[in-house]
Amino acid sequence: MSKRDELIVKYAADLKDKCDINPDMDLLTKVTVGLGPSIYNADSSTVSGSDDKELATVKNNFLIKKLGLNDGADLDSAIASVINTYGQSNRNKYRAVVYYMLVKHFNKESVY
């Protein structure tokens, strides 16, 4: 099993155990592949739910640029909802899991 496959299994477990979501493995794999080498770096593979700069990066680089959404309060509330679902106290919020939940939230599976 490749390192990427191991990470995808870990992300799926997080979705099931911490978020109570049964993941679409095909979509989760595509989101993970779309993140490229960042999934192998300890810092870039996670999202800090309390860092405003980090959340702005998720909003601008992923929701607006990648998914093609228009900037607005609904983007901030969606990010807050995903962070809340994942668990504020959970230290390791994997970027692939957060992005997967945002893709599902906005029904943007077609981007992948």
CATH code where residue 25 lies: 1.10.238.120
Count: domains in the chain:
1
pLDDT at 29 over 90: yes
Range of the domain at 59: 3-111
User: What tens digit of pLDDT does each residue of 82-107 get?
Assistant: 999 999 888 889 999 999 999 999 99
Which pLDDT does position 80 carry in this prediction?
95
What three-state secondary structure class fits 68? coil
pLDDT at 14 over 90: yes
Computed over its alpha carbons, how large is the radius of gyration of the chain?
Answer: 13
Checking 60-64 for CB contacts under 8 A at 24+ apart, the result is 62/99, 62/102, 63/102, 63/106
Q: Can you read off the two tokens belonging to residue 39? A: 């999934």
Query: Following CA atoms 72, 44, 29, 68 in sequence, which dihedral angle do they give, to the nearest 10 degrees?
Result: 20
Beta strands in 1-110, from DSSP E residues, in sequence order = none
pLDDT band at 33, cuts 50/70/90? very high
